[in-house]
Structure 1
Amino acid sequence: MRAIRTVKLSNWERYFENRIEFIRSKELKYLSRRKYLDAVCVYLWASAPVLITIAILSTYTVIMHEKLTAAKVFTSLSLINILIMPLNALPWVLLALVEAYVSVKRFKGFFDLQNIDMHGLYSLIEGEGKMLQIDKSTFSWTDSSSHSVKDITMTGTQGSIIGVIGPVGAGKSTLLLGILGETELDASDPTKFLEHGAIRIPQRCINEGFAYVGHECWLRRGSVKENILCGSPFQANLYNAVIRATALEHDIEKMPNKDEYQIGDDGTTLSGGQRARLALARALYQVC
């Protein structure tokens, strides 16, 4: 529904209609080829025994000029009957091989994607209380992009709050996603970058990861409690502390069944503020 609303408000109906028609026509073209191949397989399956019998007997009498006898005909027919099942299966085997080839190409394209080099991106930080350090690094979405966040140098200490302020399109999200390793990173000293990593974080973050809550709050179908735990073991003291820290107490008190209240996909049964607080509570519970 959110995507449909975006299309309607931006007046993109005609554009997406043309895109869908193009993709659908391409899909129908390949489906028609598959159906034609399927029809040929069915035809060969039904006609192969008869055609093979006619071909064998015609070759024997017309080309080789031999005389047919009852013994030879019945022997040939018995051998052909033995071969009927493999011959009938041959077209379906060919069709299965074509489908297997297409599937292998799709898997190969997926497995050939490059993984993020976490060891080359992150390294250990030096200094007591430091949680994040970036030295003159540039974040961009492509290697040749002219739109990038350049020469970023920052240090975050434990317990501090850092605000990133700027107009729309200034690169705030690019910077945050760059810290997560989702963008291209260009360090001031490439040799140092390849050897040690340009983003420095503590050992605990390297081992356990760190939490990120973006503009779009990701929530899954289930109870409020399940979304906060997100597969982690339940710890009552930590759970209650996280709820208090994210101001979810008032919201949970108003919900039917309290924290066992079932929410829909992407938190459709919650308000925008409740979704944001719930996503923040999940992030805090994972890192505390």
Structure 2
Amino acid sequence: MVAQDERLKASSEALVNMKVLKLYAWETYFKNVIENLRKVEHKSLEAVQSCKSYNGFLYWSSTVLVSTATFGACYFLGVPLYASNVFTFLATLRLAQDPIRSIPDVIGVVIQAKVAFSRVVNFLEAPELENANIRKKCNMEIEAG
């Protein structure tokens, strides 16, 4: 998200100052800057997506791995496996499977919400949005008008 913010900031700066860029022929320089920022953002997104795919594979295969490990341990330890024990274990594992699989998604949503709330707070705490500044500006416009 930091890389995305930097790219968006550079893009909006280039769009706002388009006349100056055209006047001094800085289009290629800003194009290169934005493309480099896009490459950095792409690397970050690639790393995040590969991590998500690894975690997804791990969580989706976890029930099979846990079942295999449990039944293998029971076999090697000589614990008798009756149908009632096996079905009870599998049913319990199935009940716990969905909440465990949703943990990474919940963590991701919480992180995104935290970032969004901090951005909103930073925007609302900006000095130009303080009531005293707004009142001064309104009073100055009324007095001037």
2:34 matched to which residue of 1?
20
Q: 1:77, 1:99 → 2: CA distance?
A: 34
Cα contact 1:44–1:91 (8 A) shared by 2: no
Please name the residue that 2:112 is paired with: 99
Give 5+ residue unaligned stretches, structure 1.
120-180, 182-204, 212-283
CA contact 1:49–1:84 (8 Å) conserved in 2: yes
TM-score, normalised to structure 1, is 0.37
| CA distance in 2: counterparts of 1:33 and 1:113, whole angstroms | 33
Query: 99, 114, 139: which one pairs with 1:209?
Result: 139
Q: 1:48 aligns with which of 59, 62, 83?
A: 62
Q: How far apart, in 2, do the equivalents of 1:2 and 1:102 lie?
A: 26
Whether 1:9 and 2:23 are equivalent positions in the alignment is yes
State the structure with bigger RCO (CA 8 A, min sep 6), 1 or 2.
2
Q: Name stretches of at least 5 consecutive residues in structure 2 with no aligned partner.
A: 1-14
* Greater fraction helix: 2
Q: How well do the aligned residues superpose, as a CA RMSD in angstroms? A: 3.5
1:190-209 aligned at under 5 Å gives the runs 208-209=138-139
Aligned mates of 2:64, 2:95 — CA distance in 1: 14
Aligned to 2:49: 35
Look at both structures and tell me which one has the larger radius of gyration over its CA atoms: 1
Query: Per-residue displacement from partner, 1:206-244 (whole Å, max 9, x unpaired)?
Result: 594233xxxxxxxxxxxxxxxxxxxxxxxxxxxxxxxxx
Evaluate the alpha carbon distance shift between residue 99 and residue 208 of structure 1 in structure 2; reply closer, same or farther with a 3 A threshold.
closer
Over the matched positions of the two proteins, sequence identity in percent amounts to 24
Partner SS, residue 209 of structure 1: helix
What count of residue pairs does the alignment treat as equivalent? 130
CA–CA distance in 2 between the matches of 1:117 and 1:103? 21
Question: What pairs with 1:198-237 in structure 2 (closer than 5 Å)?
Answer: 208-211=138-141
Which amino acid letter does the alignment assign opposite residue 18 of structure 2?
I
How far apart in 2 are the matches of 1:106 and 1:46? 34
Partners of 2:115 and 2:73 lie apart in 1 by 39
Question: Match of 1:68?
Answer: 81
